[in-house]
């Protein structure tokens, strides 16, 4: 009788433990393609609040699969899709394949970058940034440099190593819509190109090629649209592997002023 009661208690306890275990601890696998795609989406959409390492928000450690309100993948889907009212966690309208990819990355976040990305020396990377790479000709860092390209002062805090490496190697494929240059033609035929800073239904503000702030009313334009492509070169063939690793290390060291 006593043995039967002990066995029953054990089975109940085991059921609780299994029910409360993170999905990463269960017998569940995720496609490598989903993990890689999810890493890209995380870098683009999630790092601003959660950070590249996933531990910026108090009480949450995404790498360790420690969430405040989620345990299962379905619960994660709900939080990501609907947000959490009264908190900074907003809703994201990911398509089903994107949502699957983000969750796959979160479940494998701990080991993803360390397996795929070589990180070198930041000091040597700064030399590459300012020298051979010519990055300082367009990018601004900690208040110094031009404004014709995105400011990189805090890039190391908002991008994962793997995401940064992909941008360096193939910027055209990784270019975010917000960073695309725009082209506007006024009613008198004047062509204005530059980096978009802000845009709403009626106006657009940009930094032109002479680093001047320009504000335009869309109704006064003959033509307006995004410029295809990017002026940033692909460094996959321009830098040696060790130079690429050093440049990546320098960019990761940029955490803001």
- Is the pLDDT at 27 greater than 50, yes or no? no
Sheet hosting strand 203-208, strand order edge to edge: 213-217, 203-208, 191-199, 181-186, 221-226
Q: Is-contact 119 248, C-beta < 8 A?
A: yes
Q: Is-same-fold flag (118-176+232-253; 181-226)?
A: no
Give the position of tokens 């309208």.
93
Write down the architecture of domain 118-176+232-253 according to CATH: Orthogonal Bundle (1.10)
Confidence band (pLDDT; 50, 70, 90) for 7? very low
Q: What is the pLDDT of residue 100?
A: 92
Does the structure show a pLDDT above 80 at 6? no
pLDDT at residue number 24: 41
Each residue's pLDDT tens digit, 164-208: 888 899 888 777 766 778 999 999 999 999 988 888 899 999 999
Q: Where are the domains of the chain?
A: 29-115, 118-176+232-253, 181-226
Instruction: Please list, in sequence order, all residues whose beta carbon lies within 8 angstroms of the beta carbon of residue 16, skipping any fewer than 6 positions away.
Output: none
pLDDT digits (tens, 9 = 90+) for 236-251: 889 999 999 999 989 9
Mean pLDDT of the chain: 82
Mean pLDDT of 158-162: 79
Band (257; pLDDT cuts 50, 70, 90): low
Model confidence band, residue 116 (pLDDT cutoffs 50, 70, 90): low
Q: Is the dihedral of CA 159, 162, 163, 166 positive or negative?
A: positive
Lowest mean pLDDT among 103-107, 176-180, 220-224: 176-180
pTM over 0.75, yes/no: no
Query: For domain 181-226, which architecture applies?
Result: Roll (2.30)
Write out pLDDT tens, residues 52-104.
Answer: 778 888 888 888 888 888 889 999 999 999 998 888 888 888 899 889 989 99
Residues 115-131, mean pLDDT to the nearest whole number: 85
Superfamily (CATH H level) for 29-115 = Cytochrome c-like domain (1.10.760.10)
Which of the pair, 157 or 178, is modelled with greater confidence? 157
* pLDDT computed for residue 113 by the predictor: 58
Per-residue pLDDT, 186: 95
Task: Give the pLDDT confidence score for residue 48 in this predicted structure.
Answer: 78
**What is the 8-class DSSP label of residue 108?**
T
Q: Which residue did the predictor score with more confidence, 94 or 3? A: 94
Model confidence at 13: pLDDT above 80: no
Q: What is the mean pLDDT of residues 219-223?
A: 96
- Among the listed residues 107, 62, 64, 63, the one whose alpha carbon sits nearest the alpha carbon of residue 89: 62
């Amino acid at each position: 009788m006593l043995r039967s009661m002990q066995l029953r208690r054990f089975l109940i306890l085991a059921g609780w433990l299994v029910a409360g275990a993170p999905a990463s601890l269960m017998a569940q696998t995720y496609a490598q393609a989903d993990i890689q795609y999810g890493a890209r989406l995380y870098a683009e959409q999630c790092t601003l609040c959660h950070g590249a390492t996933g531990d910026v928000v108090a009480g949450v450690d995404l790498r360790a699969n420690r969430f405040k309100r989620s345990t299962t993948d379905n619960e994660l889907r709900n939080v990501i899709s609907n947000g959490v009212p009264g908190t900074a966690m907003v809703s994201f309208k990911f398509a089903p394949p994107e949502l699957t990819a983000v969750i796959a990355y979160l479940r494998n976040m701990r080991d993803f970058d360390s397996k795929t990305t070589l990180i070198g020396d930041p000091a040597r990377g700064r030399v590459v940034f300012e020298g051979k790479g010519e990055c300082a000709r367009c990018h601004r860092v900690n208040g110094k440099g031009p404004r014709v390209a995105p400011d990189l002062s805090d890039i190391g805090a908002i991008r994962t190593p793997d995401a940064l490496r992909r941008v360096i190697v193939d910027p055209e494929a990784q270019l975010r819509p917000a960073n695309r240059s725009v082209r506007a033609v006024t009613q008198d035929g004047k062509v204005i190109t530059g980096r978009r800073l802000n845009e709403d239904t009626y106006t657009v503000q940009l930094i032109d090629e002479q680093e001047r702030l320009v504000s335009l009313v869309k109704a006064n334009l003959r033509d307006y649209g995004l410029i295809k492509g990017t002026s940033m070169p692909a460094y996959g063939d321009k830098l040696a592997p060790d130079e690429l690793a050093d440049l990546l290390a320098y960019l990761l060291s940029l955490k803001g002023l």
